[in-house]
Amino acid sequence: MLHTDGPLLSIDVGEQTWETVDISAERSKYIGGRGLATGVAFDRIPFDADPLGAENCVYFSTGPLQTSQMSYTGRMNATSVSPLTDGLVSSNAGGFLSRNFVATGYSCVEITGQSEELLAIHITDEGVEFESVPTLEQATVPDVSESVESRRGLGSDQLITVGPAGENQVRYASLMTSDTRAFGRGGLGAVLGAKNVKTVSFAGDSHPETELPAADVAGEIHQDAAVKDHMMKRQGTTKSINVKNDLFSLPTQYFERMDFDEGVDGINGDAVESKKYKRGTCSMCAFACKLPTRDESEGVETEGPEFETVFAFGSNLMVDDIVSVMKSNQLCDQYGLDTISAGVTIGAYLESQDEFGNSELIHDLVEQIAHREGIGDLLAEGVDRVHDQLGVANWTSKALEFPGHDGRVLHGRGLGYATSNRGADHMYSRMHNHEYNGDIQPTGLDEKPELLVELENLKAVYDSGVVCKFSRSYLTEDRLTALFDTDYESLIAVGGDIVELERKFNNHRGFDRSDDSLPYSLDGFDEALDEYYRLRGWSPEGVVDGQAPWGVTIWVFNCITAVVSESVSLLTRRPEKREPGHFESADS
């Protein structure tokens, strides 16, 4: 099976020392990316580590596909214990960083300890340099990029940077690269900020000599990305906003409503496309689904907003002006904030104050949160920690704020929010795609746990490859197995090992069935959760007991048999309000 190459580079920022460590066993077992970082984290982070303490580590990693020239491979992974969820969290970002990382020759970089001075860390294939950067204290992400480029000739596409939000340990601070691409979920920016690290750069010439087993397949995928038409090339993930609204799956007014009929046209894909002024992409990717946008009259220029940001700062806050959403997106990028958690937390505050639709207040709140000033100091803690004080509902799972695919309508999506080791993360399984597209009936949970298990495992493989999940229309099963030089069952088994290791880490931190919860009821939820645990081979309390889940062969056979049966029985049952073929792909 294909896997990444290179040692672990371990950096202690407190001691300002570094060393390389052989992790060949972990690389061969977990492919790379998220899987590799999870395996290393499990062995090296104490289970009782304070997320904002010296013992917690941040891991950066790529996969074997980052050595190729194939589309959909301009991404990389970051993993740490989250200050928001208190569990292990992996997040990945696109842009142009991954191949600069690969050029250093390391498969994974570990940052541990705590520095007494604000640092920039410069990583090359020759070693590590520690630079004191007191003048960058509280600097925005673009200002850091400008400073590093002027002093060292390194571009923003070579940097992972913490904005003021990370320095101030906002629990949902993001890590930023290329100024506008975010390792968004889980507050990993706060972890690096707590280590007093402002930015990390990557440069070198030590590219691993990894030969893809199926170079012809990679070429076919790249060609399809370049020549085949797709609505995402024009509108990114915002292309489907009206469809979600029609299906009552667009959370509105801090989840009080599930549609935004009166304002959706002001923030939909057409509205975003009207502000798009050029094509945008990630490294080596011909699909080019990114959205550079600007509004000259308001002086706003940003990348996006993508669907989740439009939900979080649009319908969720009852804002019907795409320029206002663009401004919110721009501010979050500059300060280093996850747009989903920031928008939902601001929504909780607007609910408490009856201030929905107040764009000026919204933009002020983003700045206050990033600097922990005024009410922003409270809101920087996230919804789970402040909802009682605000007197509003707690729209989180495992303390992670919900994204914009409503599990009250898409019941498999709801189950997936609960089981995700990261918390309410739509990308962990992307179960919603199958319910939007009519592959399965959106309502009800019968027979859905089997599909959810497979999808969680498959996405773990994607995150370990590392390959963009928007490739799913072109990265078919036969192409995927050819690229990794193995069979589908083996890939799914590796994905299952990764998911289980994450769960086991979180079990050691006290997570169990009580954390696999939702703020609303779904008929059959407890029974579906029981079945999910049974398929995983975990205890009824959601705890990994150390035994192989039914034996790999039995587990794979049961899972795939159930999925085939599910597909045959449910393909003809479509939800109301959808015409066959109306919604080609729900890539968001």
Domains contained in the chain, CATH given: 8-203 (3.60.9.10), 229-401 (1.10.569.10), 411-570 (1.10.599.10)
Burial track 176-197 (b if 16+ CB lie within 10 A, e otherwise): bbbbbbbbbbbbbbbbbbbbbb
* pLDDT of 210: 67
- Residue 332, classed as helix, strand or coil, is helix
Portion of the chain with pLDDT greater than 90, in percent: 89
Beta strand 181-183 with 300-303: parallel, antiparallel or unpaired?
Answer: unpaired
User: 117-168, pLDDT tens digit by residue?
Assistant: 999 999 999 999 999 999 999 999 999 999 999 999 999 999 999 999 999 9
Q: What is the DSSP string of 177-189?
A: ETTTEEE-TT-HH
Query: pLDDT at position 354, please?
Result: 98
Pair 284, 303: CB distance under 8 Å:
no
Question: Element (H or E) spanning 122, and its range?
Answer: strand 119-124
> What letters, b where the CB count within 10 A reaches 16 and e where it falls short, cover 491-530?
bbbbbbbbbbbbbbbbbbbebebebbebbeebeebeebbe
The backbone region for 379, taken as left when phi is positive above 0, alpha when psi lies in -120 to 50, beta otherwise, is: alpha
Tell me how far apart the alpha carbons of residues 558 and 532 are, in angstroms, rounded to a whole number: 12
Torsion of CA 421, 427, 429, 435, to 10 degrees: 130
**Phi-psi sector, 402: left (phi>0), alpha (psi -120 to 50), beta:** beta
Tens digit of pLDDT per residue, the chain (588 long)?
A: 999 999 999 999 999 999 999 999 999 999 999 999 999 999 999 999 999 999 999 999 999 999 999 999 999 999 999 999 999 999 999 999 999 999 999 999 999 999 999 999 999 999 999 999 999 999 999 999 999 999 999 999 999 999 999 999 999 999 999 999 999 999 999 999 999 999 999 999 987 766 778 889 999 999 999 999 999 999 999 999 999 999 999 999 999 999 999 999 999 999 999 999 999 999 999 999 999 999 999 999 999 999 999 999 999 999 999 999 999 999 999 999 999 999 999 999 999 999 999 999 999 999 999 999 999 999 999 999 999 999 999 999 999 999 999 999 999 999 999 999 999 999 999 999 999 988 999 999 999 999 999 999 999 999 999 999 999 889 999 999 999 999 999 999 999 999 999 999 999 999 999 999 999 999 999 999 999 999 999 999 999 985 444 333 334 444 444 444 443 333 333 233 223 223 333 345
Global pTM value: 0.92
Write the pLDDT tens digit of every residue in 523-541. 999 999 999 999 999 999 9
Residue 334 CB contacts under 8 Å (≥ 6 apart), including other chains: 140, 141, 142, 163
> Rounded mean pLDDT of the chain?
92
Q: What is the per-residue pLDDT for 564?
A: 40
pLDDT at position 546 is: 58
pLDDT at 548: 40
CB atoms within 10 A of CB 70: 25
